[in-house]
Chain A
């Protein structure tokens, strides 16, 4: 599909789940994000006015640092404004209002787009069904694009897109690479979405490294294999480090697991990404990613890894700006 058609396809589109996109869509987003990064870095003419006069409604029912700030920042940089709910205790949610009602109310307040984070699985998809300009708007009946900032344990598509962008930015491709997903592969929604997105590309191999208590869910592994992906589950990341291009670390959400403290300590010990094996075994070109936050009680990757040439997790979080800016522009029908 030509870019012209893709621009049309994205205008007024919701961004709810990575499953709603195909390879062509994702490659288009990566290209547009790259253009946006270039325009922002070089402060090219007009970039500060791309979203002038546009209003973004933030509806955050759960804590957020990177997601909420990167959306607010990109709107600010591109000339738009931001308003909304950042603390549910200060909104009608505290009085028992459901998200469906909140979005119907806010749809009449002349917002051009919404970013929603909510604790219920599927809540943002539901909200998007009610995100329509009502009778008081000249665009009555038109969709107001909703960008999913995370719905419970389900999806966080913009995180996945910035993860893909980070890999693509480093290697110029997502194909032919060896990926290692590490630690909590059971509870982390980012690794679920990432491996699902990778099925649309042609990775050389994907290693899933975790304790037997925190494995990648069986149905996800089965689905990846059925789509032809070479997936292998392993127990020690050091065993394969030499062949890995992308090491994607995650925070072990041990508070969710009914296991002994001794076992938790063992998991922390075995799966922490340490500087020594990275220095000794990993390729110089390998990159280490992490969705952050880094839990200080776990400290993985350990602080010494920050200084290694492979560390990319802070750049990864910075990539949230161009990727989310590109998505906002595309869904608003604004050319970058």
Chain B
């Protein structure tokens, strides 16, 4: 049979480690493309990896987890409010550990973009790589005190929606298991809770992560 041997083909398909840039790792399977959609990667070489098998679980080890029957997502037991099927078979889960991952060659994340990652999936890891070395590792990803144009105000009467212009949001509660994610628009002063927080793409957290732990527990 002609053609390249299988092993060579596999090597060709394998992602080459990046020398300079950012890797967003341990994303919950299914949200990698959403995160990618929030990033400005014009001019950069970007590789999204979806449903990769993972050597390391993105789940914290000291918590119990349940499976949300609506979304099939694994969520911390301590941060859900209902709609769950029951205890998840962790042994089975460990055999099918998956994650999404994003490689951005030559890029960096703005505070706003890092904030977006922290809001959508704080258990992820952001590695900053310089000359092939991880010079900064963020895990869990911290939420900045203020977010900007990455979000939209959900108040239709807010001047940021009627007249446009830049946006600013004060983070009242960063995502956590105890309290829902809360932000306040610095202009109209209205507050918004987890699932209603809207990104500039028009999607809300609920659109992407309905049923995911701390987001579902929002009031």
Q: How many interface residues does B have (CB within 8 Å)? A: 16
Give chain A nearest CB distance to B189 CB in angstroms.
6
Residues of A within 8 A of B27 (CB): none
Interface membership of A19, Cβ < 8 A: yes
Interface membership of B165, Cβ < 8 A: yes
Docked Cα-Cα span, A118 to B160, in Å, equals 14
Q: Is the CB of A154 within 8 A of B163?
A: no
Q: Is the CB of B165 within 8 A of A120?
A: no
Prevailing SS type, chain B contact patch: loop
**A120-B157, A152-B157 are contacts. A125–B163 as well, Cβ < 8 Å?**
no
8 nearest CB pairs, A to B:
A122-B187, A121-B188, A122-B188, A123-B159, A120-B159, A122-B159, A98-B163, A120-B162
Residues of A within 8 A of B189 (CB): 17, 19, 121-122, 154-155
Partner of B163, one of A100, A153, A155: A100
Docked Cα-Cα span, A1 to B159, in Å, equals 35
Partner of B158, one of A19, A121, A155, A219: A121
Docked Cα-Cα span, A122 to B188, in Å, equals 4
Docked Cα-Cα span, A123 to B165, in Å, equals 11
- Report A162-176 CB contacts with B as 1/0, cut-off 8 Å: 000000000000000
Q: Is the CB of B158 within 8 A of A122?
A: yes
Q: Which of A98, A126, A152 has the most CB of B within 10 A?
A: A126
Interface membership of B155, Cβ < 8 A: yes
Binding site for B on A (CB under 8 A): 17, 19, 98-100, 118-123, 125-126, 151-155, 219
Give chain B nearest CB distance to A60 CB in angstroms.
16
Closest B-chain residue to A124, C-beta based? Answer: B159
Closest B-chain residue to A192, C-beta based? Answer: B189
Closest B-chain residue to A123, C-beta based? Answer: B159
Docked Cα-Cα span, A122 to B163, in Å, equals 11
Residues of A within 8 A of B157 (CB): 119-121, 152-153
Residues of A within 8 A of B158 (CB): 120-122
Give chain A nearest CB distance to B94 CB in angstroms.
40
Residues of A within 8 A of B162 (CB): 120, 123
Interface membership of B186, Cβ < 8 A: yes
**A152-B157, A153-B157 are contacts. A120–B163 as well, Cβ < 8 Å?**
yes
Docked Cα-Cα span, A155 to B189, in Å, equals 9
Docked Cα-Cα span, A154 to B187, in Å, equals 9
Of the A-B pairs whose beta carbons lie under 8 Å apart in the complex, a sample of 7, sorted by A's number, is A120-B158, A122-B158, A122-B187, A122-B188, A123-B162, A125-B159, A154-B189
Docked Cα-Cα span, A120 to B164, in Å, equals 11
Closest A-chain residue to B193, C-beta based? Answer: A219
Residues of A within 8 A of B160 (CB): 122, 126
Residues of B within 8 A of A154 (CB): 188-190
Docked Cα-Cα span, A121 to B157, in Å, equals 6
Docked Cα-Cα span, A123 to B160, in Å, equals 8
Q: Is the CB of B191 within 8 A of A121?
A: no
Residues of A within 8 A of B155 (CB): 121
